Amino acid sequence: MTVTPAHAIKTCPVCNSTTQNFLDINHYTIRRCRVCAHQFIQLEPRPESVKKSPLPEPAEDYGDYFREAKFLKLKGQHYAQLMSRYFKRPGRMLDVGSAAGFVLQGFIDRDWKASGIEPNAHLAEQAQTSGLRVVQDTLEDFRTTEKYDLITFIQVIAHFTQVQEAFRIAAEATQSKGFWLIETGNRDSLKAQLWGENWQAYHPPSTLHWFSPKDLKRLASQYGFQEVARGKPHQWVNVAHAKFSLRQKKVLY
């Protein structure tokens, strides 16, 4: 029998409205907001004593990730190039969920002063061994006095256990004219619509949120950000994901 875990939160993490059961997968119930349609399984924060990355620790589980190192660096370079339309010169950026730092390296290759945070100890250590500024932490627990011109979230927001807290912390760490670049699955994509319940992105509990552009915009707006551009990653990325680039309202068009 599939049940909603006792520790699941039923209030929408985007708009705080009531939700209803939507789909049962992997013994988890995905809930859908009655107002904004956001889909999610939001778990209560784990006690400090059992806090760990939602990702498995052993390096061998990341075979695909390491095999894609070259493409991830290219992705970083590509995104750095995209962001150059908003910046006169490369600035200071933070990559959230930077893993072993391949995307981060792509930004560094394009002269960004880049650092990252990564909850997985093994991957953070790999990045550090490569000479990258990556600290082992979750965004929800991250504390910094730095202000970044750009914060990137490449395939990470679907994994946040406290997405509102994560965005609040990110907003505090963003310059007043700064940007966020978010890459995540698109619940409204043709692929998601065609596959329905079998959409590959439905694999809780490693994935906790399923966004559409509409509810992601709604969530980001609560932290002073608005969408300025949207697109899809290049073909060399294996999966089709929507990409959003957001900037704060203070920036003039």
Q: Which is nearer to Zn ion, 9 or 59 (by Cβ)?
A: 9
Interface with Zn ion includes 219 (CB under 5 A)? no
Residue from 65, 137, 127 nearest 96 by CA: 137
Q: Which is nearer to Zn ion, 39 or 138 (by Cβ)?
A: 39
Stretch that binds Zn ion, among 13-21, 205-213, 226-234, 241-249 (CB under 5 A): 13-21
Q: Which is nearer to Zn ion, 35 or 171 (by Cβ)?
A: 35
Q: How many residues bind Zn ion (CB under 5 A)?
A: 8
Supply the minimum distance, in Å, between the C-beta of residue 38 and Zn ion: 5
Q: What is the DSSP letter of 139?
A: G
CA distance 122 to 135: 11
Is 118 exposed, middle or buried (CB count within 10 Å of its CB: 0-12, 13-18, 19+)? buried
Interface with Zn ion includes 15 (CB under 5 A)? yes
Interface with Zn ion includes 33 (CB under 5 A)? yes
- From 2, 17, 193, 206, residue interacting with Zn ion (rule: CB under 5 A): 17
Is 249 exposed, middle or buried (CB count within 10 Å of its CB: 0-12, 13-18, 19+)? exposed
**Which residue in the block uniquely carries the two structure tokens 């504390």?**
143
CA distance 99 to 62: 10
Q: How far is CA 213 from the centre of its chain?
A: 14
Supply the minimum distance, in Å, between the C-beta of residue 163 and Zn ion: 11
Interface with Zn ion includes 216 (CB under 5 A)? no
Q: Which is nearer to Zn ion, 133 or 214 (by Cβ)?
A: 214
Interface with Zn ion includes 18 (CB under 5 A)? no
Is 193 exposed, middle or buried (CB count within 10 Å of its CB: 0-12, 13-18, 19+)? exposed
Interface with Zn ion includes 38 (CB under 5 A)? yes
Q: Which is nearer to Zn ion, 33 or 237 (by Cβ)?
A: 33
Q: Which residues bind Zn ion (CB under 5 A)?
A: 12, 14-15, 17, 33, 35-36, 38
